[in-house]
Amino acid sequence: MDISEFDYDLPEHLIAQTPSRRRDRSRLLVFDRKTEKTNHLKFSSIESFLKKGDALIVNNTKVFKARLLGNRKTGALVEILLARLVDSAYGELWEGMARPSRRLKVGEDIIFDQKHHLELVKEIGEGRWQVRFESSQVRQRIVQKFGKVPLPPYISRSTVPSDLRRYQTVYASDEKQGAVAAPTAGFHFTPSLLSSIEAFGVSVIPLTLHVGPGTFRPVQVDNIADHAVDPEFAEITKESAHAINRVHDKGGKLFSVGTTSVRTLESAKVKNGEIMPFAGLTDLVIRPGYKFKNFDHLLTNFHLPRSSLLLLVAAFAGHKNILDLYKLAIAEEYRFYSYGDAMLLL
């Protein structure tokens, strides 16, 4: 299929620039793949689609202040967006995006103040660099003191203090800090809603995928079969794998919260019908024709045109169905993208 088949026109005013006043009061477009019926609800109504013994599979990664603003020795401003830790043998080696990058040189320092800097180690193409911090402690101090929340490029405003809290799920784990983009389908859950869901007998099972900046990159090839994605760290612990398999064995349904949870679940090996725990990099691309094996239903936000995430949801719900649903959402003035509304695909 050609990537032009995954395009759509979105009025600019439907790109959500701020989160909803209450997480669970965002809107929810429900689509049943069997009956092809749709419904327009508030997000808190998701409880009505869950049954005792089901499970929500959530990505507990935590976004950190990965956008660093420093200076070259000339005084020129440089932005470094950290993407992922590569090695920690000698200090910390990270991969990141630098801009403007045209005049940057291998070996030069990006300076934050007299005591804090990072070194440009290697250019790896298209504004991507390997950078080194003297130690993990230095990197943590730089992030804490000089870092900013890495809001998506389609949010055309400066960050505000509340973004550090709202551009984050309520179940993000301090021990799983490492994402530079949030798993936004989970934004709609509140602690009270999750407590109510668990009290009803529905499990909330965590896994981890540290979302990188490539999530916003449009597909740049015509044939979607040629598209590749940047590798991202993913993990399913032994405890979570056991919990998932127990739900499956007892006939419960698995609701994947977000495309990042889908990619993590689908990256896991299956042995004798059971998901195996793993931890490592995944570069799985899911496109129409893919056969899903490890979950039943998908909760997701609305995604960018010509994006790998749109390919994934089209693979799950059908290409025509997804484009029709997006047209409906636009006509009904749903809010799109990270701070926008949600869709439940049954």
Predicted pLDDT of residue 295: 97
Q: Report in angstroms the alpha-carbon separations of 106 from 89, 102, 120, 249.
A: 20, 12, 5, 54
- Over the stretch 43-85, which tens digit does the pLDDT of each residue have? 999 999 999 999 999 999 999 999 999 999 999 999 999 998 9
- Over the stretch 197-256, which tens digit does the pLDDT of each residue have? 999 999 999 999 999 887 777 888 999 999 988 899 999 999 999 999 999 999 999 999
What percent of the chain stands above pLDDT 70?
100
- Over the stretch 265-286, which tens digit does the pLDDT of each residue have? 999 999 999 999 999 999 999 9
Q: Can you tell me which residue has the tokens 């590798």?
A: 231
Q: Give CATH superfamily name and number for 67-148.
A: QueA-like (2.40.10.240)
- Residue spans of the domains in the chain: they are 3-63+164-345, 67-148
- pTM (2 decimals)? 0.93
Using an 8 Å Cβ cutoff, are 250 and 294 in contact? Answer: no
Average pLDDT score over the chain: 95
Phi, psi of 108 (to 5 degrees): -85, 160
Residue 58's Cβ-count burial label (10 Å; 0-12, 13-18, 19+) is: buried
147 falls in which pLDDT band (50, 70, 90)?
very high
Closest CA relative to residue 120, chosen from 134, 133, 135, 130: 130
* Angle value at C-alpha 66, between 64 and 67, nearest 5 degrees: 140
Closest CA relative to residue 338, chosen from 161, 184, 164: 184
Matching CATH topology for 3-63+164-345 and 67-148? no
Closest CA relative to residue 28, chosen from 18, 16, 42: 42
- Longest Cα–Cα distance of the chain, Å, equals 64
The CATH number of the structural domain formed by 3-63+164-345 is: 3.40.1780.10
Cα–chain center distance at 22: 21
